[in-house]
Amino acid sequence: MREDAPLSFPPRGEIVSALDRGLIDGSDWSTPQSAITLGLPDVAKFLYYPGWSRPTHLFEVVVSEATWSKLGSDGQRGFEAVCGQSLRRSLAMIPELERQALAELRNRGVTVLPYPEAVRASVRQAGQKVPDAMAREDTNFASLLDSYNKYR
């Protein structure tokens, strides 16, 4: 991409074509399997992993307090049990699915590489600016971010 070119992104259906024609230099897709489905191995022979749009898998269910209260303690325990079972099953499947997709990419001639640590550190630092700014403007978000940061 030219240095002076305006920043724009092709629609999903045009990414492979844009890569093939040299209009863009690369694309970040959420998982190795989604990159395969999109057709990226046909035009891109390097994959840096993990993708920035989903460096890990997080699952969440948000239920309003009013709805949660209506469930009662038995309903809440049942809801939590079902969510926990679904989460464990999904998380258990992900490594194998990603291993299979990465193997398929390699078999199709794609070189799979981790991002260099300097790049990962730079992205982490840049990515933290947005939630930090949001926390300065919203005390509820600040509390949530603080709890999340302690957890991770």
4-58 pLDDT, tens digit per residue, is 555 566 666 788 898 899 888 888 777 888 889 889 999 989 988 876 666 566 6
Instruction: Give 69-111 pLDDT, tens digit per residue.
Output: 999 999 999 999 999 999 888 888 888 988 999 999 999 999 9
Q: Based on the domain organization, do 102 and 133 belong to the same domain?
A: no
Please state the domain count of the chain: 2
* Domain residue limits at 49: 1-115
Q: Based on the domain organization, do 108 and 152 belong to the same domain?
A: no
Residue-level pLDDT at 100 = 95
Q: Based on the domain organization, do 121 and 101 belong to the same domain?
A: no
Q: Based on the domain organization, do 49 and 91 belong to the same domain?
A: yes
In which element (H, E) is residue 66 found? helix 65-107
Separation between Cα atoms, residue 87 and residue 58, nearest integer Å: 9
The gap from C-alpha 80 to its chain's centroid, in whole angstroms, comes to 24
In which element (H, E) is residue 122 found? helix 117-137
Q: Based on the domain organization, do 22 and 77 belong to the same domain?
A: yes
How large is the angle between the packed helices 117-137 and 139-151, nearest 10 degrees?
Answer: 150
Instruction: Give 60-76 pLDDT, tens digit per residue.
Output: 788 999 999 999 999 99
Separation between Cα atoms, residue 97 and residue 61, nearest integer Å: 23
